[in-house]
Amino acid sequence: MSSKVDFSEVKKLRELTGVGMQDAQKALVEAKGDVKAACELLRKKGMAKASKRSGRTAKEGIIDCYVHGRKVGVMVEVNCETDFVAKTDDFRAFAHELALQIAASAPQYVSREDVPKAVLEKERQIIEAQLKDQQKPKEVMEKIIQGKLEKFYQEVCLLEQPSIKDDKIKVKQMLTDAISKFGENIVIARFTRYQLGEG
């Protein structure tokens, strides 16, 4: 163990990020013992690794179910590359966390790419109608519209939503962290959310 790094800090960083002992130690040395900075370093490295893995095929995985108070039910399919990862407690916990997120935040789509063009166009028309009385330059109006569309994405897209456990991070960051942690491409394939009395 390097004299620059306290063992308790390495342990703390491992608990926060789920990385191995060597990676935690290296990150702390690089961050001069600052756990928060080391977390950021590991997150950035994880994002780089995740982007490399995102093209790999994910055909294994699990379907997780969650029922809240017999009023809301969720089924979510989360895919990974190997059956080995799919069977781990940590992967199952991640899938269940997503089910809880879906139950609480009621997204309609997995990602912004899944939102149909017609739905997006309709939302844009609603926003434009709300802003029609505002006398502002066209470029300013466009920025306002884009800002409101971003809020719309956060409401309806699972990956764009703030995590119910930590609203400082989005679900897509949770997914990136999972890809880094498991060392495999992880894909939220689809979900269904039922609410009693709807439909």
What's 116's DSSP letter?
A: -
> In terms of pTM, does the model score above 0.75?
no
Same domain, 94 and 162: yes
Same domain, 16 and 46: yes
Same domain, 47 and 15: yes
Task: Give the strand pairing for 60-68 and 72-80.
Answer: antiparallel
Same domain, 93 and 66: yes
Count of CB atoms within 10 A of residue 30's CB?
13
Q: Containing domain of residue 86, as a range?
A: 60-110+157-195
Same domain, 77 and 135: no
Same domain, 38 and 126: no
How many angstroms separate the CA atoms of 153 and 147, rounded? 10
Same domain, 78 and 146: no
β-bridge partners, 157 = 109
Same domain, 150 and 166: no
Asked if residue 1 belongs to a domain, the reply is no
Number of domains forming the structure of the chain = 3
Same domain, 40 and 136: no
Residue pair 119/149 in contact (Cβ under 8 Å)? The answer is no
Q: Strands across the sheet with 72-80, in order?
A: 60-68, 72-80, 187-195
Of residues 119, 143, 121, 118, the one with CA closest to residue 131: 143
Same domain, 143 and 183: no
Per-residue pLDDT of the chain (199 residues; tens, 9 = 90+): 444 678 888 888 777 766 667 888 888 888 888 888 888 887 777 655 555 555 667 789 999 999 999 999 999 999 999 999 999 999 999 999 999 999 999 999 999 999 999 999 999 999 988 888 888 888 888 899 999 999 999 999 999 999 999 999 999 999 999 998 898 899 999 999 999 988 6
Asked if residue 2 belongs to a domain, the reply is no
- The tokens describing 164, both together, are 């119910």
Same domain, 142 and 166: no
- The tokens describing 142, both together, are 């466009």
